[in-house]
Structure 1
């Protein structure tokens, strides 16, 4: 076991037949955009499928590439989280440039909220609250939760190995770049806005810094588990849920400060717990469930991007809840089948 509760894969990986090997890739390609933009109610039910298809190359491609990088190098979840943060900055700062564009949400149901945001930093040209929201949701929903859920459906022998060979990785990288270019070229999203050179350089520097930290050898070192026993998965899951909802329901500079403290505290607690004996995929799935359930609850409290009738909005929110519960219940059943869900002590 590593210090992050993951079994190391063997050096020689046995490749499975293409269809069986590509199934989790396709699942992650579709789950990442759904979790990123639909799980919290961003799109009404009728628009979900189109949103998933259009955004799959960008969101799904990034999730697959980040997962492959971490699993091939043995970087584990620390590397996934750091690369997810880098993706969040890259996406919001360089691709759709929502981080710097004050009019990005002007033609949506969030226009009033965006205009009333009082946490904009004039010198840097972005809202601190939006930065926390964009980055937190990309880390939790776009990348980490989808990877954790898809991997939970796989057997322990298949979970931590690579899914793609070199040609597949190259194709996925091209797919991701094309998907990102598509979003960047969509002027209806950027509304003609282009970030300043200083903003682009600053965002690029942050992305590069996160990638460099993610590549540090320390994430690949073997560490013996701590003598203490990891808690039942319900505890980290509940902690993630409370933090996600608590941060999402606050606003203003207090929300920014609370989010920074809460995320730092959450990371510290999860790192400590993950180093204990018995931490496994059940705990990882519980953390993903906390974020996804929090997003599904939030869907009932916020409007979708486009106007929708109360009946349409409610139907969409119920659909999100059903899909989230089905995904998590299926993953939980798979872990139980493999004997990976610990009993309560």
Structure 2
């Protein structure tokens, strides 16, 4: 991946590998003993995250565009690429039985399956890694790659996705129906259109001050943990009620974030807090998730500790980087200071 500057190349490479580390390893899907699979996951996860980030930033778009593109990626990965949305025994698990409560025949999948796919990949596979890597550096919103780097990334993403898709078909002998692939592809294209129909810049900030970043991070941890807490609900809870609660939780979270980001003082520290809170949720979820994936207990515990501590260390490093930038005067403030009548121009 060729970048415009060595520093930008480093950040692009960091995002390329961080996305699968969060999406697969921190979650507990893939054990720490299978680190070699990182090279298989990175082109799809990391390539997707990097292409979304570069596309949005190159065209002057912000987080609303990246979030919607991340949702499109979520459906692309679990739809046309590996077809988990429709495979009744994906990964050797009885997916059909697990999600039977909200199955919709016209879609060939369940509402809760769609909710899980959109939640995990939109938030953790794409947006959290982008926010963390953007926070670790001086220049957050400019493109990191030139045309060559973008083309190489796109090629890696396409090749990696095709390889994983072929491997899934060869292993499971399952292929979704043309109708299932058609509706999913239509929704993906529509989401991409919506992403670029959103306005370019944020609205003017006014009104009361934004909450402290630590409050935002606590809220993010609480909301994302509440989403995963459904794993501990009893079997008697109606699954359609759980699905309805998901819609309510997402709507409330989007409304709250939209309100906060319009407040005075909202900035990079708050966006990092949102990502950090969600990241810490994956740290505790990975403990139970590794158990569900039948990972040996010692291996699972080692992975949980290593990747969990890594998540904390990365969040802390990103926070220090943001604090350093906030402590530096902006270029406009510096120029105003040098132009002030009270400033000395005598050497």
Q: Hey, what's the Cα distance between the residues in 2 that align with 1:52 and 1:265?
A: 35
- SS of 2:207's partner is strand
Matched, 1:211 2:192: yes
Work out whether 1:271 is the aligned partner of 2:258: yes
* Superposed CA RMSD: 2.0
CA positional deviation for 1:337: 1.9
1:190 Cα offset (Å): 6.0
Q: CA deviation at 1:16?
A: 8.1
Aligned pairs, number: 319
Residues 108-153 of structure 1 show CA distances to partners (whole Å, capped at 9, x for unaligned) of xxx2576333222222111221211111111111110000000110
- Given candidates 315, 335, 338, the residue that maps to 1:328 is 315
Specify the alignment match of 2:23 in structure 1: 36
How far off its partner does 1:196 sit?
Answer: 0.9
In the TM superposition, what whole-angstrom CA distance separates every residue of 1:225-282 from its partner, at most 9, and x where no partner exists? Answer: 1222111112222222122111112153232111111011101100110111111111
Residues 221 and 21 of structure 1, relative CA distance in 2, 3 Å threshold: closer
Specify the alignment match of 1:249 in structure 2. 229
Residue number in structure 2 paired with 1:126: 109
Which residue number corresponds to residue 32 of structure 2? 45
From 232, 237, 250, the counterpart of 2:212: 232
> Kindly tell me: are residues 68 and 254 of structure 1, through their superposed partners in 2, closer, same or farther at Cα, counting changes over 3 Å?
same
> Are the counterparts in 1 of residues 209 and 264 from structure 2 also a CA contact under 8 Å?
yes
Q: Distance in 2 between matches of 1:161 and 1:305?
A: 40
Shift in CA distance, 288/306, structure 1 to aligned 2, threshold 3 Å: same
Q: 1:300 to 1:187 in 2, by over 3 A?
A: closer
Q: Secondary structure at the match of 1:164?
A: coil
* Structure 2 CA distance for partners of 1:297 and 1:114, relative to 1, 3 Å: farther
Unmatched tracts of structure 1, length 5 or more = 1-14
Structure with higher Rg: it is 2
Corresponding position of 1:96:
82
Q: Deviations over 1:69-102 (max 9, x none)?
A: 1111221000000000011111111100111111
Matched, 1:293 2:280: yes
Counterpart pick for 1:182 among 163, 174, 177: 163
Distance 2:292 2:7 in 1: 36
Q: Is the 8 A contact 2:206 2:262 kept in 1?
A: yes
Matched, 1:86 2:68: no
Q: Secondary structure at 2:244's aligned position in 1?
A: helix
Query: Structure 1's 189 and 265: CA in aligned 2 closer, same or farther, altered over 3 A?
Result: farther
Aligned to 1:76: 62
Structure 2: stretches of 5+ with no match in the other structure:
232-238, 329-347
Whole-Å separation in 2 of the counterparts to 1:134 and 1:60: 17
Is the CA contact (8 Å cut-off) linking 2:3 and 2:9 kept in structure 1?
no
Q: Distance in 1 between matches of 2:258 and 2:244?
A: 21
CA distance in 1, matches of 2:327, 2:305: 30
Deviation at residue 303 of structure 1 after TM alignment: 2.6
